[in-house]
Structure 1
Amino acid sequence: MTEFLKKEGKFTYAEAGEGKAIIILHGLMGALSNFDETFNYFSKKGYHVLIPELPLYTLPLLKTNVKNLAKFLHDFIEFKNLKDVILLGNSLGGHIALYYLKHYPQYVSGLVLTGSSGLYENSMGNNYPRRGDKEFVRKKAREVFYDPAIATDELIEQVYEVVNNRNTLIKTLAIAKSAVRHNMAKDLPKMKQPTCLIWGKQDTVTPPEVAEEFNKFLPNADLFWIDKCGHAAMMETPDQFNQILENWLNSKNL
């Protein structure tokens, strides 16, 4: 994806394709590369696909929260002069999409959530690792996926660097606490945009009952399950994920 990366002002983002805009929002421990397959697929299917790098570790500590990450997203959408966007978020990225939709519904024509927080999330629980405890990080990273092999050494190293750095760990905890505070349950019934929920049946971070709650409270939602799949369907089962999403977009004329 590096060949598609751009840096303009305060924004670093990947961009490809032409057509209706799909903005992809990565999770708290996620990276732009988590969406490689989806980015490549839909940028060749008549969509303008963008993945902004979220400022998880560069905002001032007091502004490191869901609210200000949604504000950053709004700044990005205005900077790119986008309208009627489709927001696609995994984990924290889904939560940011929901918070954004609550405050700027006029900019959003569709919503896609996969393993999204916003109602409940069990990431590392209360047991964040001691600094230097790489085996704990390895164990927790593997638990995110149905197939633990998806948690490559490179991915584990990325997570380890975050939790082993005092500054990024403090900001990670700040965002996690913010996500708990910004529970979206009361807001969901007001969100009328078509919403696609794609969930791994073996997701242990945002378990299947979370998907069912989203489906219950969102008035215009469709829920799709992927078996033998954990928290990041776009990484574990990209072909199935992309096919479900493409069929849904076509069914909604999005």
Structure 2
Amino acid sequence: MTHRLKKEDKYNYIEAGEGTPIIVLHGLMGGLSNFDSVIDFFSTIGYKVIVPELPIYTMSLIKTNVKSFANYLHDFIEYKGFDKVVLLGNSLGGHIGLYHTKLFPEKVKALIITGSSGLYESAMGSGYTKRSDYEVIKKKAQEVFYDPEVATKEIVDDVYETVNDRNKLVKTLAIAKSAIRHNMAKDLPKMQTPTCIIWGKNDNVTPPEVAEEFDALLPDSELFWIDKCGHAAMMEHPNKFNDIMENWLTKRGF
């Protein structure tokens, strides 16, 4: 199903369904469509699913950092008038969700992270020295997934366009540095928000030991694995991902 992008005030976002709000946070190179299966499924079972476009490439360079994006998310939640939300984030989106939860714990009833940055950032923003070589970029895009076929031409083209846009590349590198600065190892043990960690067993970007470290550091977390799965579980195994998330939310009373 294709979803219409709403444009209101300074926000662009997809919204579907009615009920408990789930705000979905995309990654650095991830489009809103990466979460189509999440939107389609949860919007029909009692949740309002909202996917905002994060201002990754539109913030001023000085504000291109994890903390600014977390504050932007807070402003969006206030704009929408939500009391408490469930946050779901992939990759950089997970990191933004975690940082937002650190700053505004009273606004977050539950957190779901998958392939999240925040502890291990060596893969972010690296390896673009041969960015003009389409085949190199294609290989990097395929490495995100266990099954390289998931990296469609559209996905590869988007990544290629991003890394060959000088403004976007500068912002990408700024975000990579910010992610390292905003490492959350010391913050996580103080965060009491219930957290569901869903991870691909074959994630090359944020390897499985990162998920184990998140689980060890967070006081109230549960870790779930998806086999034969890379960095974007909600794309590669959408049904399994949705089942795990739904069961966890139901068990926790969300």
| Bin for the TM-score computed over the shorter chain | over 0.9
Amino acid at match of 2:151: A
1:141 alignment counterpart:
141
In the TM superposition, what whole-angstrom CA distance separates every residue of 1:55-92 from its partner, at most 9, and x where no partner exists? Answer: 01000011111011111101100100011100000000
Deviation at 1:99, TM superposition (A): 0.5
2:72 aligned with 1:72: yes
Q: Is the 8 A contact 1:129 1:136 kept in 2?
A: no
In the TM superposition, what whole-angstrom CA distance separates every residue of 1:187-242 from its partner, at most 9, and x where no partner exists? Answer: 00111111000000000101000000000000000000000000000000000000
Amino acid at match of 2:119: L
Residues 221 and 161 of structure 1: is their aligned pair in 2 closer, same or farther, counting only changes over 3 Å? same
CA distance in 2, matches of 1:250, 1:64: 36
Deviation at 1:124, TM superposition (A): 5.5
Q: 1:152-191, aligned counterparts within 5 Å?
A: 152-191=152-191
Residue 57 of structure 2 aligns to a residue whose secondary structure is coil
2:133 aligned with 1:128: no
CA distance in 2, matches of 1:73, 1:39: 19
CA distance in 2, matches of 1:192, 1:155: 36
1:217 alignment counterpart:
217
Q: Is the 8 A contact 1:65 1:175 kept in 2?
A: yes
1:92 alignment counterpart:
92
Unmatched 5+ stretches in structure 1: none
Q: 1:228-247, aligned counterparts within 5 Å?
A: 228-247=228-247
2:56 alignment counterpart:
56
Q: 1:93-112, aligned counterparts within 5 Å?
A: 93-112=93-112
CA distance in 2, matches of 1:44, 1:74: 26
Residue 4 of structure 1 aligns to a residue whose secondary structure is coil
1:116 alignment counterpart:
116
CA distance in 1, matches of 2:157, 2:50: 26
Deviation at 1:130, TM superposition (A): 3.0
Deviation at 1:9, TM superposition (A): 1.2
2:34 aligned with 1:34: yes
Deviation at 1:136, TM superposition (A): 1.2
Q: TM-score, normalised by structure 1?
A: 0.98
Q: CA RMSD in A?
A: 1.1
CA distance in 1, matches of 2:50, 2:166: 30
Amino acid at match of 1:188: L
Deviation at 1:4, TM superposition (A): 3.1
Deviating above 6 A after TM superposition, structure 1's stretches of 4 or more consecutive aligned residues are: none
Q: Is the 8 A contact 1:124 1:140 kept in 2?
A: no
Residues 54 and 247 of structure 1: is their aligned pair in 2 closer, same or farther, counting only changes over 3 Å? same
2:41 aligned with 1:44: no
Deviation at 1:125, TM superposition (A): 6.5
Q: Is the 8 A contact 1:129 1:163 kept in 2?
A: no
Unmatched 5+ stretches in structure 2: none
Deviation at 1:145, TM superposition (A): 0.2
Deviation at 1:165, TM superposition (A): 0.7
CA distance in 2, matches of 1:37, 1:100: 24
Residue 50 of structure 2 aligns to a residue whose secondary structure is strand
Deviation at 1:129, TM superposition (A): 3.2
CA distance in 2, matches of 1:2, 1:243: 22
CA distance in 2, matches of 1:127, 1:154: 20
In the TM superposition, what whole-angstrom CA distance separates every residue of 1:109-145 from its partner, at most 9, and x where no partner exists? Answer: 0000000000003436642233421111101000000
Q: Is the 8 A contact 1:4 1:16 kept in 2?
A: no
